[in-house]
Chain A
Amino acid sequence: MSAHAEEHFAGSNKLFSAIWFWLLLLTGIEIFLGYKPMPIQFMLTILLGLSIVKAALIVAYFMHLKFERLSLILTVVPMLVICICLLFVFFPDSFRSAGLRYKFKEPPPMARETTEEQ
């Protein structure tokens, strides 16, 4: 911002436009990757990785967190990351219940009936 700013708001419009361009580019890469056949684990890892980069760019520059006091960053970010990581506790159960599924010999009658109702 120019020196005569009444309020301090770091970062120029040129910088923000550059961030916007990078966000669009990363989104384009994501869409392109969506059409590349690859194992779902690779796809998920790459897409989530790119999304975290995009989220970091938005939080740091658009939401201005990069220019805030470190104590605010330390208050807001680590606890969120830890809480989200704690949610991974559900996945072993998810993989377990996938193995418990009854193996049908043919499509079950329930599935056909319920879709015909509409």
Chain B
Amino acid sequence: MSTEARAGSFTAADWDGGTLPYRVGHRKLGMWLFIVSDSLTFSALLMGYAYLRASNVWPTPFPFYPSIVFSSVMTFCLLSSSLTMVFGVSASARGDKAAARKWIIATILLGLAFVVLHMIEWKHLLDEGLRPFFLPEDWVKAFTTTDGTPPSPLFGATFFAITGLHMFHVLTGAIYLAVVALRVKKLKHEDVEISGLYWHFVDLVWMFVFPLIYIMSVDVHHLTK
């Protein structure tokens, strides 16, 4: 019985009621299940992007500056915001609510820095003429293959849909954390931890979006110049 419990298998006592079979509260379990379903949303979008990319001539237009420099700094902001969030949850676990609030506010600021930088990066691309269903004319010229096949105009659709949905998650996460920071003295530790789970998930999604959308689309040969 004790070895079974250590292996994590379900024993009858776990499911008889009055205990938490997963040793986490129902809200935290709910957040985990939400994260699983949201992961599938992003997986489906990234798969759709990969599907289009594999079946089309795909442009690789991102220059080192501004696109890669901006997205790298954004990655740094988001990774650092995860670290400050962990510090906030640690402080909350110690019962140091004031420190937890400070770390969570730092997390919000880094998250907002990410959104602002991302908006500037979007502005660069929009100014170049990228739209959800159109490529800038010089991109079409640069990436049309020798046999005359033009690059897919759906580049913008995949780019704006995936990064846009991610940006929306960062924004809602910042609002969520702001509410947690305001009410941190009233909240239980587990509630702070749950908001941390959501924030780390947003960071985790970017760990796939950044290489697949940005690094796989680096303009190595300076074709758009």
Give A contacts to B, CB under 8 Å: 1-2, 4-9, 11, 13, 16-17, 20, 23-24, 27, 30-31, 33-35, 37, 40, 43-44, 47-48, 50-51, 54-55, 58-59, 61-64, 68-76, 79-80, 83-84, 87-88, 90-91, 93-95, 97-98, 101, 103-108, 111-112, 114-118
Which residues on A sit within 8 Å (CB–CB) of B134? 114-115, 117-118
Is the beta-carbon distance between B22 and A43 smaller than 8 angstroms? no
Nearest residue in B to A69 (C-beta to C-beta)?
Answer: B23
A-B contact pairs, 30 of them (CB 8 A): A9-B93, A13-B90, A16-B86, A16-B87, A20-B80, A27-B75, A34-B216, A48-B211, A51-B211, A54-B207, A55-B204, A58-B204, A58-B207, A62-B85, A63-B197, A69-B24, A71-B8, A71-B21, A71-B22, A72-B29, A73-B8, A75-B22, A76-B32, A76-B36, A84-B39, A90-B51, A104-B149, A105-B148, A108-B148, A111-B150
Q: Which applies to chain A's interface (DSSP): helix, strand, loop or mixed?
A: helix
- A31: shortest Cβ distance to chain B, in Å? 6
Which residues on B sit within 8 Å (CB–CB) of A98? 54-56
Interface size class of B (residues with CB under 8 A): 35 or more
- The digit string for B16-37, where 1 denotes a CB below 8 A from any CB of A, is 0000011110000100110110
Partner of B203, one of A5, A58, A70: A58
CA distance A5 to B85 in the complex (A): 18
Is the beta-carbon distance between A55 and B36 smaller than 8 angstroms? no
Report if B144 contacts A (CB, 8 A): yes
Which residues on B sit within 8 Å (CB–CB) of A114? 134, 153
Q: Which applies to chain B's interface (DSSP): helix, strand, loop or mixed?
A: helix
Which residues on A sit within 8 Å (CB–CB) of B10? 71
- B120: shortest Cβ distance to chain A, in Å? 19
